[in-house]
Structure 1
Amino acid sequence: MNRPTAAFRETSAEPRTESVPYSHLSLELGHLYMEDFAEGADRLRRHFVTARPWADAVRESTAARLANGRARISTCFLIDDYFSRLSTPDRLIPPLLDAAADAGLTIDYLARESGCAVTAGTGRAELRLAESVLNRLVESPPPGSSGFRPPVSRTGWLSNGRRGPAQRTSAALDSTRATWQPPSETTARGHSVFLDVELWSGPAEERTWSCAFLASVWQLVRLGLLRDKGGAVLTPTPWDGGEFPADWDELPAVVRLNPRAEPFTAYSTCSVLPARFLAVEHAVRVVLEQVHVEADALTPSLERSAKEGFAVPAGIADRTSYVFPPGL
């Protein structure tokens, strides 16, 4: 006779999921390349002057969703120090903050794009953040798929549907087999908008993450949905108001510039971006729709937002929104 066995586990062995504070909205005031900064202060001023009325409209529409009209909104700005470093923080950041202030805007949090690739994890150990998100991808198989397609972890490509067949056949030799089939979007409404997203390039040990994939990580961070051994990642570091360092690696991945700022993480996000980012952000949505987020991180945001009368969708991609102003 087999006797039932009991399994005992130390509760301390199970990592506790750290709770994070939430604003109602994380409002991104821009994301510029180093080449944009190289154009000088006038380029920065044009950016923020153009973004200002759209940012104000987003604030008003967010407040209108709440019965009391008092929305917690934090602002952020992402600097590309991953793909190029044409300048240094001490030279680049002060003119950026001045240009925003001249337009009547305050940047609460400043982030480095390289922090979305590798950052400090729990216990200050190095965390390969982009790689950890890659490991969370669960591809959505298109209807009728046979599983022939290699996994994203091997190819580095993620799609929102069924690709066209790679194998070519000769209609003259075999008239019963189709020589070509169009790709199709899994959730198409009438007609497909198929997208195939490159997540990285280079060998596995020296990957260069794509802008689209790092932007996906950036969205997940702003939504407060990523954890490392239960701990929150990219927690903002308060800035003391002193001079910025001359090396990007000496600047924390996320800096809280405004001591009175609302929380960095938020129930929803909105990004005011140049139109050239439209294709990138389409790719971001494809990635977010196929990321698995642990329930311990996902459920609190759903429950707490609903209690505040600011319910957000369960789908991660549906919590993000964008504004692409003309002339930005």
Structure 2
Amino acid sequence: MSTPEIEVEVVTAKPRVQQVSRSHLSLELGHLYMEDLLRGPKALREHFAMIKPWADFAIARHSGSGRVSTCFLVDEYFSRIRSPAELIPELIEAAAEAGIVIDYLARESGCAQTGEISPAALVMARIVSVPPQGTNGLRPSAHETGWLTNSEGMSRAGGVEQAMAALRPWSPPKENGVRSHSICMDVQLWDAPDGVRRWSCAFLAAVWQLLRLGLLRHEGRSIVTPAPWHGRHPDHWSELPPVIKLSERAHPFYAFRTMTVLETRFAQVEAAVRTILGQVAVDPAVSALTARQAASQGIDLPDDLVQRISHVFSDGV
């Protein structure tokens, strides 16, 4: 009697992608450097008074059935001069004086590392550099160099010219996908001055946008969950969660679209953010889930990631 052959097929289970609740809009009420925050309560009051008309406009556009959540990002990645125990009450009070409610407060270092997970490293792994037309692949990738470009002819790989070789004629750079005239940009994503990778401000700002859009996952799960905080704030930023919920009545932290209100001096950084996001390949499962979620709520969501983010630049004039 022969033994029947048994075929065993091993199926590797893919992690289920977690769906997150979303507001229609995540409105960022400024992104100040730590040196700006050193200027004290008066400067904070001036800041919130300046952005108040823009915040009111954005919220009014979504009045009725629209959901808007507000957030504020503190730069304590590059410097931690002021403690949260000092700064957070000043922020809340200055915003309230202008009639503004901060729903969520985030730490910029949380964009670099959250527990055992690095949101920045997750995004870096999803950078897909746009190959310039006609290139031969000699230029190292952004993963090797820490530099990302949107153009042909920029960030060229170095090499030693032969002593008697003819000089190569100058040729201008050309933006990838240019329509009429090029606007070329090289963006530094990270460096390692002490042998440890240090993410750039522009790259962390791009990670911050992806966090607000709810498009980052680790093994299928969302990597940041806003946590309520009651009582006195700690003396050290590392003792706070990456994102804390300040308002009990806040709409969801994640949103289908983002708007960021900034002073004009941040325009160059935000242009770099848009360049970076234009070369990020979001997990297709997350993209599909988000699209279905938007469609079920009657929300027109652009396929292009960069079109989901907007900026308002103002110096109060």
TM-score of the pair, normalised by structure 1: 0.89
Partner of 1:154: helix, strand, or coil? helix
| Residue of structure 2 equivalent to 1:285 | 274
Assess if the C-alpha contact under 8 Å between 1:169 and 1:178 holds in 2: no
Query: What is the CA distance between 1:19 and its match in structure 2?
Result: 1.1
Residue 152 of structure 1 deviates from its aligned partner by: 0.7
Distance 1:159 1:118 in 2: 25
Q: CA deviation at 1:30?
A: 0.8
2:26/2:254 contact within 8 Å kept: yes
The alignment status of 1:264 with 2:264, answered yes or no, reads: no
Give 3-state SS (helix, strand or coil) of 1:270's partner.
Answer: strand
Q: Partner of 2:187 in structure 1?
A: 197
Query: Could you tell me how far 1:292 is from its partner in structure 2?
Result: 1.3
Q: Partner residue of 1:149?
A: 139
Unaligned runs of 5+ in 2: none
Q: Give 1:235 shift.
A: 1.1
Q: Which amino acid aligns with 2:223?
A: V
Show the counterpart of 1:17.
Answer: 17
3-state SS of paired residue (1:56):
helix
2:102 to 107, 111, 118: 107
The CA distance in 2 between the partners of 1:302 and 1:191, in whole Å, is 33
1:225 to 210, 215, 233: 215
Once the two structures are superposed, residues 63-98 of structure 1 have per-residue CA deviations (whole angstroms, 9 ceiling, x without a partner) of 4xxxxx421010000000100011100001101100
TM-score normalised by structure 2 residue count: 0.92
Q: Is the 8 A contact 2:119 2:216 kept in 1?
A: no
Whether 1:311 and 2:300 are equivalent positions in the alignment is yes
Q: Is 1:234 aligned with 2:224? A: yes
| 2:244 paired residue among 229, 235, 255 | 255
Please point out which of 182, 201, 213 is paired with 1:211. 201
The secondary structure found in structure 2 opposite 1:259 is coil
Deviations 1:288-311 (A, max 9, x none): 111111122111222222332321
Runs of 4+ in structure 1 displaced over 3 angstroms? 164-170
- CA shift, 1:187, in A, is 2.0
Between the aligned partners of 1:253 and 1:282, the Cα distance in structure 2 is 25
- The equivalences for 1:141-180 within 5 A come to 141-164=131-154, 174=166, 178-180=168-170
Deviation at 1:40, TM superposition (A): 0.9
SS at match of 1:29: strand
Q: Gaps (5+ residues) in structure 1?
A: 64-68, 121-125
Are 1:322 and 2:298 matched, yes or no?
A: no
Q: Deviation of residue 326 (structure 1)? A: 2.2
Query: What's 1:130 paired with?
Result: 120
Distance 2:299 2:193 in 1: 44
Task: Give yes or no for the alignment of 1:119 onto 2:138.
Answer: no
Quote the offset at 1:8 in angstroms: 2.6
1:54 touches 1:325 (CA, 8 Å); kept in 2?
no
In 2 relative to 1, CA 144–62 (structure 1 residues): closer, same or farther, beyond 3 Å? farther
Q: Aligned-pair distance for 1:61?
A: 2.9
Report the Cα offset of residue 314 of structure 1.
1.0
2:24·2:68 contact (CA, 8 Å) conserved in 1?
yes
Residue 33 of structure 1 corresponds to 33
Return the alpha-carbon distance in structure 2 between the equivalents of residues 129 and 199 of structure 1.
Answer: 14
| Conserved? CA contact 1:81–1:248, under 8 Å | yes
